[in-house]
Structure 1
Amino acid sequence: MYSTLEQKYRRIQKELMAGIAALGGIFIIGTLWYSLVEKWSWEDAAYMTVITLATVGYGETHPLGNRGRLFTIALILMGVIAIGYIVNRFTEAVIQGYFQEGIRLRQHRRLMESLSEHYILCGFSRTGRQIAKEFRAEGVPFVIIDSEIESVRKAQSEGFTLYQGDATLDETLYKVGIERAICIVAALPSDAENLYTVLSAKTLNPNIRAIARASTEEAVQKLQRGGADAVISPYITGGKRMAAAALRPQVMDFVDGILTGADRQLYMEEVLLDPAICPYLGETLQKARLRSQTGALILAIRRTDGTLIGGPTGDTILLPGDLLICMGTAEQLRSLNQILGPIGSQKVRKPKNS
């Protein structure tokens, strides 16, 4: 299902086709010889060639001289070699299961082609594995890219959709539908690989949101300059979270409970106000009565100029392009989305097992 298996399948397929082509060429040579040299009819020439290559033991169609018999011996030898090669390749393909892999490859290719508005996760290390679990809990469509055999086996054993390849290559990104994806997460072990991945992704799809992992502060700056929309350093972020857990443990427990996990009751979501759809633009929060209609709480509003309004009051006016950061149950957030209008990929995601 992965690139290495695909290469093996293509190799055995080419070898089988080469053997069949060689056998066809030998048949044409034999037919032409008996027809042009021995002056037989085309039907007799083709019949003689077939029974010779098949080694069925039939007699000669017409008497042959020494030259014709020598050619027939050579034709038999060439046919035996070609048929033996085809049988050998076919037997290997059956034993190794290449035909079954070919079916899986076609199914996997159709799956890749059907992906749309999905997430691409590059790297299935410890960080990537946790990201994949969160994606699965959120119920979003995503595909994993990794080139390490051990990581591939782990991802396969856990039932994730995966493509084995180098995430820094354009060809690999095309295979996983980079032009149709809405977000790519570069969680590869190397900062250089993450930078190459972000650059490639932004080149192939300028509208994609790129999230990158960085090991150092210098890498954070380079990835930001390379086009990453957000750069996360596990060491810096982990240190901040550990300090917050020590200083404000209850706050951290609450935040973790609404941000991650499949069995949570409260969720945080962001909702974009589309000027072509939202019916409450230009109105205040008090007049829009979003809280009373849905039960969802508006925690903050980010304006189009980047200004963040924390804890907006009832007098706060809703403007086109505002991004609402909301909290509530899955049903409350879904009701809020329905009131504000469908907005494409910005939708409330409900865990598959909830």
Structure 2
Amino acid sequence: MAGAIALGGVFLIGTLWYHLVEGWSLEDAAYMTVITLATVGYGETHPLGNRGRLFTIALILLGVINLGYIVNRFTEAVIQGYFQQGIRLQQQRRLMESLLEHYIICGFSRTGRQIAKEFRAEGVSFVVIDSELESVQRAQIEGYTVYQGDATLDDTLLKVGIERAICIVAALPSDAENLYTVLSAKTLNPKIRAIARASTEEALQKLQRGGADAVISPYITGGRRMAAAALRPQVLDFVDGILTGADRQLYMEEFLLDPALCPFVGQTLQRAKLRSQTGALVLAIRRNDGTLIGGPTGETVLMPGDTLICMGTAEQLRDLNQLLGPIRSQKLRKPRNG
């Protein structure tokens, strides 16, 4: 910008000189200034005396200096932009390669933004995928790790480490896109947990058949929660406070029992004394075959592959995690602070 202004100033000075001092017409003065600054060597428009030739020499030097400055700045901008883009791509590639046991959010619409907010509050590692530049920029502004691409493509999922991820959330606006994403994710990583968003009951069933481990319909879930708020408001407030409350004191967590690491497999809850040792309450047990035992008694036996659903304070859950040993496929999430 500064170079262009300077060049314009030199052009104006040259034109006024030839017009006022040499007495040429404005057209001839402007023409002479242009061919002088461009150093094309067409020759003098009108004969010049010594004074005019000295001024022309100075004009040529000023023109060469300004043009050189402009070319240098332009070249520098192009080269820096090229290398900066390369550096950004390299940094992004290294970041994606470093992701391990992370979550993948596909789509950064209103649903995706809320999911990202909850994940950040829980302190888990995650990456956002979206094909829209505006959504990608918004995710970057909010400080999330983001990749611009089509989540339905295998290449995109591979670039965000789908084979090392533990969960993928398909929150794209289209049910068909969510279905393709789940199918691709399950093909590339059969062990990954896939959560999908569905707009209709038909889409919900198709996503379940497509391999989604859990399918959430905002409309169905919203209707149920509104009904629960009307019929059992205190229960809903309590559950919401445990799951998402910013100032909560109680938390819920799940623990997967690994028979090779957990010392309590094969024992009853009464013998394991988890409650007396940590203060955490075992609310339910999900057997390896999918059977759910709600409110297990002291005689309930802990089996290999069981998932304990527990409630307690952050300290109690950390103590329980230490007591059971490193039995989870991921680290115990850091509870959000109030």
Question: Does the 8 Å contact 1:195/1:226 carry over to 2?
Answer: yes
Give the CA deviation at 1:347.
Answer: 3.5
Aligned positions of 1:81-100 closer than 5 A = 90-94=75-79, 97-100=81-84
Question: Does the 8 Å contact 1:121/1:145 carry over to 2?
Answer: yes
Q: Which of 211, 214, 217 pairs up with 2:198?
A: 214
| Partner Cα distance (1:344, 1:116) in 2 | 14
Q: Secondary structure, in 3 states, of the residue corresponding to 2:204?
A: helix
Unaligned ranges ≥5, structure 1: 1-85
Unaligned ranges ≥5, structure 2: 1-70
Aligned positions of 1:57-136 closer than 5 A = 90-94=75-79, 97-136=81-120
Pair 1:319–1:351, CA change in 2 (3 A): closer
Aligned residue in 2 for 1:181: 165
Question: Does the 8 Å contact 1:209/1:228 carry over to 2?
Answer: yes
Amino acid in the other structure paired with 1:275: P
Aligned residue in 2 for 1:266: 250
Aligned residue in 2 for 1:257: 241
Q: Secondary structure, in 3 states, of the residue corresponding to 1:269?
A: strand
Moved over 3 A (4+): 86-92, 351-354
Aligned residue in 1 for 2:121: 137
Identical residues among aligned pairs (%): 82
Q: Secondary structure, in 3 states, of the residue corresponding to 2:88?
A: helix
CA RMSD of aligned residues (A): 1.8
CA deviation vs aligned residue, 1:221-275 (integer Å, no higher than 9, x gap):
1101111011000000010011101111111111111111444221111111111
Aligned residue in 2 for 1:229: 213
Indicate yes or no: 2:154 matched with 1:167: no
Q: Secondary structure, in 3 states, of the residue corresponding to 2:323?
A: helix
| Partner Cα distance (1:125, 1:186) in 2 | 11
Give the CA deviation at 1:346.
Answer: 4.1
Pair 1:352–1:114, CA change in 2 (3 A): farther
Give the CA deviation at 1:100.
Answer: 2.2
Q: Secondary structure, in 3 states, of the residue corresponding to 1:228?
A: coil
Aligned residue in 1 for 2:266: 282
- The two structures have a TM-score, normalised by structure 1, of 0.72
- Which of 259-268 and 318-327 deviates more? 259-268
Q: Secondary structure, in 3 states, of the residue corresponding to 2:259?
A: coil
CA deviation vs aligned residue, 1:264-314 (integer Å, no higher than 9, x gap):
221111111111111112211111110010010000011122221111111
Aligned residue in 1 for 2:13: none
Amino acid in the other structure paired with 1:141: S
Question: Does the 8 Å contact 1:330/1:348 carry over to 2?
Answer: no
Aligned residue in 1 for 2:281: 297
Aligned residue in 1 for 2:189: 205
Give the CA deviation at 1:345.
Answer: 2.5
| Partner Cα distance (2:240, 2:213) in 1 | 23
Give the CA deviation at 1:348.
Answer: 2.1
Amino acid in the other structure paired with 1:93: V
Q: Which of 136, 140, 144 pairs up with 1:156?
A: 140
Question: Does the 8 Å contact 2:165/2:192 carry over to 1?
Answer: yes
Question: Does the 8 Å contact 2:255/2:328 carry over to 1?
Answer: no
Q: Secondary structure, in 3 states, of the residue corresponding to 2:129?
A: strand
Pair 1:154–1:206, CA change in 2 (3 A): same
Give the CA deviation at 1:328.
Answer: 0.7
Aligned residue in 1 for 2:176: 192
Amino acid in the other structure paired with 2:199: S
Aligned residue in 2 for 1:242: 226
Aligned residue in 2 for 1:61: none
| Partner Cα distance (1:240, 1:98) in 2 | 53
- Report the count of equivalent residues: 268
Question: Does the 8 Å contact 1:134/1:261 carry over to 2?
Answer: no
| Partner Cα distance (1:296, 1:99) in 2 | 54
- The two structures have a TM-score, normalised by structure 2, of 0.76
Question: Does the 8 Å contact 2:207/2:215 carry over to 1?
Answer: yes
